[in-house]
Amino acid sequence: MTPRTIILPGGAGYLGRHLAHYFAQHDYQIVILTRHSQPDTPRIRHLLWDGRTIGPWAAAFDNAHAVINLAGRSVNCRYTARNKKEIYDSRLRSTAVIGQVIAATKTPPPTWINASSATLYRDARDRPMDELTGELGQGFSVDVCQKWEQTLNAAQTPHTRKIPLRSAMVFGPGKGGVFEAFHRIVRLGLGGTLGRGDQYVSWVHFQDFCRAVHFILDHPDLTGPVNVASPNPIPNKQFMRTLRQAAHKKIGLPATKWMLEIGALLLRTETELLLKSRRVIPTNS
pLDDT in tens, 91-150: 999 999 999 999 999 999 999 999 999 999 999 999 999 999 999 999 999 999 999 999
Query: How many domains are there within the chain?
Result: 1
CA distance 149 to 117: 10
Element (H, E) at 44: strand 44-48
Backbone angles phi, psi at 167, to 5 degrees: -95, 145
Confidence at residue 52, expressed as pLDDT on a 0 to 100 scale: 95
The CATH number that applies at residue 57 is: 3.40.50.720
61 CA to centre of own chain? 22
In a domain, 194, yes or no: no
Q: Taking the C-alpha atoms of 138, 143, 146 and 152 in order, what is their torsion angle to the nearest 10 degrees?
A: -170
Confidence at residue 50, expressed as pLDDT on a 0 to 100 scale: 96
Spatial neighbors of 42 by CB under 8 A, at least 6 apart, are 24
In a domain, 255, yes or no: no
Contact 190, 253 (CB under 8 A): yes
Q: Of 115, 72, 68, which Cα lies nearest the Cα of 91?
A: 72
Query: CA-CA distances (angstroms) from residue 159 to 1, 156, 220?
Result: 24, 9, 12
- Whether the model clears a pTM of 0.85, i.e. scores above it, the answer is yes
In a domain, 115, yes or no: yes
The boundaries of the domain holding residue 110 are 5-169+205-229
In a domain, 149, yes or no: yes
In a domain, 182, yes or no: no
In a domain, 209, yes or no: yes
Rounded to the nearest 5 degrees, what angle is found at the Cα of 209, between the Cα atoms of 269 and 235? 55
Confidence at residue 205, expressed as pLDDT on a 0 to 100 scale: 95
What residues of the chain score a pLDDT lower than 70? 1-2, 284-285
In a domain, 241, yes or no: no
Report the DSSP pairing between strands 111-115 and 44-48: unpaired
Q: Sign (positive/negative) of CA torsion 258, 237, 167, 142?
A: negative
CA distance 226 to 222: 9
